[in-house]
Amino acid sequence: MNEFIRGTCEEMCPKAEIDLSSSLFECHNSNNCRRIREKLVHFFETDPDAGRPGVPDRHRMVKEFSRSAADRRQPKPWEIRTPAMLLETIHYLLTMRIREKLVHFFETDPDAGRPGVPDRHRMVKEFSRSAADRRQPKPWEIRTPAMLLETIHYLLTIVLPDPRRPYYQRYEFIFDRMRAIRQEMVIQNLSAMETLPILEPIVRFLCYSAFRLCDAPIAEFDPKICSQHLQECLKKVLRCYEELDEASNRAADSNRFEMERLYLSFNIGSTEATQSAITRYGASEPKLRLHITTQLECHRGNYFAAMQNMLQFAPLEAAVASLKLPQFRRQILLQFSVAYQSRVQTVPLEWLESILHYEGRERTCLLNDCRHYNLQLVPRDSGQRSTDGNRNWAVKFEKATFDGQRSAIQPRKVPPIEDALEHCGNISRMLLDGFCG
């Protein structure tokens, strides 16, 4: 990791050959002596326990604001945050983590000949939760926007495709490091133009991971936490575009409608998301028409049409929208239990399979899904038993027997959407640039 950090530092400060500790201390000491000599010490920089007023306390003195002027010198490199200072701080933090054995598997050297050998070039700053007993980071401990973007590229191009560990472990590592990136973005209060190139790949990564790990056990993946962070990132991205609108800046609008579509896909069926999109663009915006139509179909209760439209989305948009598929299927089965209830008539399970879009290996789950909602399954008398299990059964819909207290089934990967994502080829490029093909 230090390779791209060092490259950025050399590009921004090629001649930063200074003794950071001594130069910085001497600079502050000289400035404090001058202010004490010229009696420019503020009340809050005096010692309250000195016994008499006005006694300066160097530990309480803080650098004051100095207005730029023609007769004033420019600040020295060690008086401000420089990439060299950041590199020195990162080196210290990495050394401390190595000493305390807090090195992750993806931060070790795969070519060392033995496991667990730390590799400084692979180590990435980890997330540290804010707490009352933790100090605020110093300016030189915070990565610049260019370094944050380089870290995103490293995580998605080097760590994400790493086949040495299952995907959920790669997700945990990248998710933690991306939280640290977002934390430093908030601390620096980056502008919209600086925030968008960093947040957009994070949004795509969370969408992709939410789909890929949707059927993983809770010990490996927590969908609630992932959804919470994805919602926060999506809303932040849309707010950044609104800030650019207010500033009449259209320079970063290239991915705007992609982010809007991902927001609608993730919040499919949400009244708030529908109203927000229609208010900003109207219901006839060509780039959002299919998604807004899908939202309106959900509000009308036409979940069959919503599912058909969903399968026409772009692969990543369809992937995140498919997380709501179990809820749509549950609503359709509930509607059928009311509209088609009968104590005599039955419905072939293969017809229900096509209506609910059970395809590929997911077709084998339909019988268990019907039992989950307490639907009555009746064997079909077709003479010869078929090897396809769904052809041998029919469903009897009765309103009284449908178990409405059961929650929706855990999402599963939809085979056509999974195949479409695999056909995208380079997943890293898709997450970084939004390109699929």
Residue 159: CB atoms within 10 A of its CB come to: 20
Mean pLDDT of all residues in 70-92: 59
- Give the pLDDT band of residue 137 (cuts 50, 70, 90): confident
- Rounded Cα gap, residues 91 and 93, in angstroms: 6
Is 34 buried (19+), middle (13-18) or exposed (0-12) by CB count in 10 A?
exposed
The predicted-structure confidence for 184-233, as pLDDT tens digits, reads as follows 999 999 999 999 999 999 999 999 999 999 999 999 999 999 999 999 99
Distance, in Å, from the CA atom of 258 to the CA atom of 261, rounded to the nearest integer, reads 5
> Can you tell me the mean pLDDT for 337-364?
89
Instruction: Return the pLDDT at 148.
Output: 94
- For residues 358-372, average pLDDT: 90
Residue boundaries of the structural domains of the chain: 26-61, 81-121, 324-409
Convert the pLDDT of each residue in 301-342 to its tens digit.
999 999 999 999 999 999 999 999 999 999 999 999 998 888
User: What's the burial of 352, exposed, middle or buried (CB within 10 Å: 0-12/13-18/19+)?
Assistant: buried
Q: Average pLDDT of 91-117?
A: 83
pLDDT band at 14 (very low <50, low <70, confident <90, very high): very low
**Helical packing angle, 167-188 and 145-154, nearest 10°:** 170
Please, are residues 164 and 110 in contact by the beta-carbon 8 Å criterion?
yes
Above 60 in pLDDT, residue 13? no
pLDDT at 42 over 50: yes
Question: Which tops the pLDDT comparison, 91 or 324?
Answer: 324
CB 200, CB 259: distance < 8 Å: yes
Question: What are the φ/ψ torsions at residue 348 (nearest 5 degrees)?
Answer: -60, 140
Are the C-beta atoms of residues 315 and 421 closer than 8 Å to each other? yes
* Cβ count within 10 A of residue 28: 15
Task: Decide: 152 and 143 in contact? Cβ < 8 Å.
Answer: no
In whole angstroms, give the CA distance from residue 14 to residue 189: 27
Asked if residue 281 has pLDDT above 70, the reply is yes
SS3 assignment, position 359: coil
Confidence grade of residue 15 (pLDDT, cut at 50, 70, 90)? very low
Which position has the higher pLDDT, 200 or 92?
200
pLDDT category at 30 given cuts 50, 70, 90 is low
Task: Quote the pLDDT of residue 253.
Answer: 65
Most confident of 37-46, 66-75, 145-154: 145-154
pLDDT, averaged across the chain: 84
Q: pLDDT-based confidence at 247, cuts 50/70/90?
A: confident
Least confident of 167-181, 226-240, 388-402: 388-402
Element (H, E) at 8: helix 2-12
Q: What is the pLDDT of residue 133?
A: 64
Position 389 scores a pLDDT of 64
- Name the nearest CA neighbour of 199 among 131, 271, 123, 258: 258
Is this structure's pTM higher than 0.75? yes
pLDDT of the residue at 68: 57
Q: Which residues contact 318 (CB under 8 A, 6 or more apart)?
A: 265, 310, 311, 312, 414, 417, 420
- pLDDT at position 114 is 84
Residue 394: pLDDT over 60: yes
More confident residue, 119 or 182: 182
For the cut 70, the answer to whether the pLDDT of residue 56 exceeds it is: yes
Most confident of 47-51, 263-267, 389-393, 426-430: 263-267
